Amino acid sequence: MKSFGKKLAKKRPLIHAINSVGVIASVVIFHISLPIIMIAGLIAGLFGGKLFCRWFCPIGLMMEKMMPSNPDEKSIHLYQYYKLGCPIAWGSGLANRFSIFRIGRKRSACTDCGACDRACYIVKVNPITSLYKKGFKDAAQQYSCSRCLACVSACPTGALSVAVAPAKTTDKVDSPQP
């Protein structure tokens, strides 16, 4: 049976598309100003980390659609570069280490297969990060992790999952499973 995290990962593109239409409608139809949306995105980031980019942002949606399915380093750097201009990405990225929407990790279920690292765009461009290797910086706690859940989706054993849990201050520790 598919875990909640895998189901959520599969639905994320649809949720992102629906939320993006909602954000556009808020601006165009309901005349909610962009600064208000930015403030809402930053407040959401305090709890969810940098999830606005891959769960709510219309521009993020377009950028994701323009990326190849297996992006090379150049595409990933370009994607990160364009996000530099967005204050929501800046603010919520800084909250990644402290947010309660996290990638849970169950060491006992991990077989060191490396599928999570191969699916993560952060690991691809930053070789000192990993989702499972000891002694590496935790990719899911990095500034650039947008909670895309590609790692959760790729994990064949269910060792990675979506967790709502208090922030841990150290890397590579188990987070409580939902």
- The residue among 56 and 121 lying less far from ligand SF4, judged by its C-beta, is 121
- The residue among 39 and 94 lying less far from ligand SF4, judged by its C-beta, is 94
138: nearest Cα among 104, 90, 92: 104
For binding to ligand SF4 (CB under 6 A), which residues are involved? 103, 110-116, 119-122, 131-132, 139-140, 145-151, 154-155, 157, 159-160
Cα–Cα distance between 112 and 128 in angstroms, integer?
16
Residue recorded with tokens 């841990």: 168
- The residue among 23 and 140 lying less far from ligand SF4, judged by its C-beta, is 140
Give the nearest distance from C-beta 43 to ligand SF4 in angstroms.
21
Give the nearest distance from C-beta 48 to ligand SF4 in angstroms.
12
Give the nearest distance from C-beta 82 to ligand SF4 in angstroms.
16
- The residue among 27 and 158 lying less far from ligand SF4, judged by its C-beta, is 158
Token pair for residue 19?
A: 């939320």
Cα–Cα distance between 20 and 22 in angstroms, integer?
5
144: nearest Cα among 73, 95, 103, 75: 95
